[in-house]
């Protein structure tokens, strides 16, 4: 890739936008179905003694 200032600025903007998108996803609440599945997995782990 070239090292010209406009390319660097574009890369920085892309980086910032990606960080915003991933942060928003990280902060979003899990759907109820996913929560239920996680609880089922935790219950299975505790029954088999494999809980971490």
Whole-number pLDDT of residue 2: 56
Overall domain count for the chain: 1
- Answer positive or negative: Cα dihedral of 17, 23, 33, 47: positive
Whole-number pLDDT of residue 36: 95
Structural domain boundaries enclosing 13: 5-48
As a whole number of angstroms, the distance between CA 46 and CA 40 comes to 10
Whole-number pLDDT of residue 4: 85
Q: How far are the Cα atoms of 19, 23, 50, 51 from residue 26, in angstroms, in the given order?
A: 10, 5, 27, 24
pLDDT digits (tens, 9 = 90+) for 1-52: 557 889 999 999 999 999 999 999 888 888 999 999 999 999 999 988 754 5
As a whole number of angstroms, the distance between CA 49 and CA 52 comes to 9
């Amino acid at each position: 890739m070239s090292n010209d200032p406009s390319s660097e600025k574009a890369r920085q903007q892309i980086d910032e936008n990606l960080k915003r998108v991933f942060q928003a996803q990280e902060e979003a609440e899990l759907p109820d179905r996913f929560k239920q599945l996680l609880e089922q997995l935790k219950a299975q782990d505790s029954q088999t003694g494999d809980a971490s």
